[in-house]
Amino acid sequence: MPFRSSFDCLWCGRSWSVRDPDDLEGWAQLCADCVGRADDNDFVRYRVRAALAERGRDTQSATPSGKGAGHDNPDLSGHDEMVAYYEARASEYDDWYLRRGRYERGPLHDVAWAAELDEAGRWLDGLPISGEIVELAAGTGWWSPLLAAKGELSLYDAAPAPLDRARERLVAHRLRAHLHVRDAWAEPDRQVDAVFCGFWLSHVPRSRLAGFLGIVRRWLKPGGVFAFIDSRSDPQSSAIDHRPVRDQETMTRRLDDGREFTIPKVYYEPHELEEALAAAGFESSRVATTARFFLLGQAGAPESEGRPVSGSRPNGLG
């Protein structure tokens, strides 16, 4: 991010002005109080680390050996890099849904995409979802109005900027929901009737899928519903300049301004997910597909709890 002398703090939202043009707050776009929370807050820690790197680069760029600004991301863990990517991509995220800009693939493709997206929406709308609903990694809230019309929706994401878009979308639909920055890997703080994830499971590495499905189970009341929509592997689903999957579990993504980020991206097969859902203790799991682009998954938490959900609790990312 560029240095700013006045800004609204990315974490708490309060207006802040720096005292010195070299203040870290101006690079992190965090107020001094929030910078002080770096020890116990993943997002703040990422912003402070990135700000230190950006400030350092700015000093270097005056010399001929300075690297090109914006293309060399600080050394981030996969988690931080993914949150940073979606934070930076918030304003262009919906171009993917709307097949605009680098996601436009010609009229035939774009019509097929829109038809399948519509099919996914009708599928989600037809599910028996009601009561208290949690949407994890909700992003810009593409699916949130549909969910907010079905019950009391809480939508969570680790990055604040996409949530701002989701808030605007809900306001435009005159719908209410609870929006909070929250890590999808955090343990549930209550049990709810339904959990939805859009295009999130494909960011969960295979090695952590059982752990994440265990979290979803712990979110759900007996008889609760888990629903998800996700990506199938199709060469035209992503942007024209997104490089193919390197090792089947990561992808390098580029923003309109050229910045690059490498993030986890796993194209699960329906049977893999059905098996993982069954192993996590879900019942009646079914993962269908649209013709080319999407996975449509649903599963139920058992009406009465038998043995505890297998699979260890997550470690590391939360």
Ligand X SMILES: C[S@@+](CC[C@H](N)C(=O)[O-])C[C@H]1O[C@@H](n2cnc3c(N)ncnc32)[C@H](O)[C@@H]1O
Binding site for ligand X (CB under 6 A): 79, 82-83, 86, 137-139, 142-143, 157-159, 162, 183-185, 198-200, 203
The residue among 184 and 251 lying less far from ligand X, judged by its C-beta, is 184
- Cα separation, 267 vs 231, whole angstroms: 7
Identify which of 202, 203, 208, 198 has the alpha carbon closest to the alpha carbon of residue 228: 198
Residues in a beta bridge with 133: 153, 194
Q: Work out whether strand 131-136 and strand 192-198 pair parallel, antiparallel, or are unpaired.
A: parallel
- Going by the DSSP 8-state scheme, the letter that residue 219 receives in this structure is H
Shortest spacing between CB 163 and ligand X, in angstroms:
8
Shortest spacing between CB 196 and ligand X, in angstroms:
8
The residue among 238 and 285 lying less far from ligand X, judged by its C-beta, is 238
Shortest spacing between CB 276 and ligand X, in angstroms:
19
Cβ atoms of 217 and 280 within 8 Å: the answer is: yes
Shortest spacing between CB 303 and ligand X, in angstroms:
28
Element (H, E) at 81: helix 78-89
The residue among 20 and 257 lying less far from ligand X, judged by its C-beta, is 257
The residue among 18 and 197 lying less far from ligand X, judged by its C-beta, is 197
Shortest spacing between CB 263 and ligand X, in angstroms:
8
Shortest spacing between CB 1 and ligand X, in angstroms:
16
Please give the distance of CA 56 from its chain centroid, rounded to a whole number. 29
Shortest spacing between CB 56 and ligand X, in angstroms:
25
Q: Work out whether strand 283-289 and strand 294-300 pair parallel, antiparallel, or are unpaired.
A: antiparallel
Structure tokens at 139: 């992003």
Residues in a beta bridge with 262: 252
- Cα separation, 305 vs 311, whole angstroms: 15
Residues 6+ apart with CB under 8 A from 285: 273, 274, 277, 278, 297, 298, 299, 300
The residue among 144 and 285 lying less far from ligand X, judged by its C-beta, is 144
The residue among 77 and 236 lying less far from ligand X, judged by its C-beta, is 77
**CA distances from residue 74 to 50, 122, 128, 263 in whole angstroms, order as listed:** 6, 41, 44, 14
The residue among 9 and 317 lying less far from ligand X, judged by its C-beta, is 317
